[in-house]
Amino acid sequence: MLPKRRKGLSRLSVFYRKTKFKQIRNKFYSKAQCFKADFSSTYFTNVNFKGAILTSCSFKNASFSQVEFLGTNLKKSNFKGASFKYCVFSGTLMKKTNFSNCRFEKCTFVNTNLEDAKNIVLDSSNIVLTHHPSPVLDDELQTLVNALRFNPKLQNSRVLHLKGGKINGLTMHSLIDRLGIIRLKVGLKKLDGDLPYRVVTANGLCNAIDRASRSV
């Protein structure tokens, strides 16, 4: 079970059975615990599995879009035939995890031992990093980013700022890579701290900034 009274957390505990959900969207499943659960053909969109334990589970033919596996334990789970797009795997445990016939598109792998996984194949659209990136921000960008540190729609997910206020280097790397410095600054200025929804993933934040940068 998840700890009580933690704002922004969603609960997910499934053991030895098939989930009743066909679509799971916009959830912060930090510390979720599932064992031998069946998520076959389930659609996951904009979900954060930070610190979750999802072992010996079935994700056959599931779809993952903008999902983050941060320090997630996926040992012995089966993802055969699943698809992943704009997903992030950081410090993910994949020992004996089956990825046969999976499709990965524009995903990022950081400090994750891919050799532990079974049958994983990545094309050139994906990024593999051995260490967490630490992009250097100019004073203006750092000020714009720090203005969001205590935003109630963002603070609890640790997407932009880690514990203690340190800027999340992996998120910043993703934002700069996808938006560029100029559009990132424009979007942050136009948002002016007014996020349109609760942010639980780096991609969710990127989408909000991107839309703001394009607004008239």
Q: What domains lie within the chain, and their CATH numbers? A: 13-129 (2.160.20.80), 139-214 (no CATH)
Distance in angstroms (rounded) separating the CA atoms of residues 146 and 141: 9
Q: What is the pLDDT of residue 21?
A: 82
Q: What is the mean pLDDT of the chain?
A: 91
User: Length of the chain, please?
Assistant: 216
Proportion of the chain in helix, strand, coil states, percent, rounded to 5? 25, 25, 55
Q: What is the pLDDT of residue 107?
A: 97
pLDDT band, residue 3 (cuts 50/70/90): very low
pLDDT band, residue 216 (cuts 50/70/90): low
Provide the pairing of β-strand 33-35 with 53-55. parallel
pLDDT at 85 over 50: yes
Mean pLDDT score, 35-62: 96
pLDDT band, residue 10 (cuts 50/70/90): low
Instruction: Map tokens 């020992």 to a residue.
Output: 95
pLDDT at 7 over 70: no
At residue 13, the 3 state secondary structure works out as strand
Q: What is the pLDDT of residue 16?
A: 67
pLDDT at 9 over 70: no
Q: What is the pLDDT of residue 4?
A: 41
Q: What is the pLDDT of residue 6?
A: 46
The whole-model pTM stands at 0.89
pLDDT at 75 over 80: yes
At residue 68, the 3 state secondary structure works out as strand
pLDDT band, residue 159 (cuts 50/70/90): very high
Q: What is the pLDDT of residue 2?
A: 35
What are φ and ψ of residue 58, in 5° steps? -105, 120
What are φ and ψ of residue 171, in 5° steps? -65, -45
Tell me the pLDDT tens digit for each residue of 97-152: 999 999 999 999 999 999 999 999 999 999 999 999 999 999 999 999 999 999 99
- For 18, residues 6+ apart whose C-beta sits below 8 A from its C-beta are 37, 38, 39, 40
Nearest of 201, 209, 210 to residue 154 by alpha carbon = 201
Distance in angstroms (rounded) separating the CA atoms of residues 204 and 183: 16
Q: Which amino acid is at 127?
A: I
Q: What is the pLDDT of residue 13?
A: 66
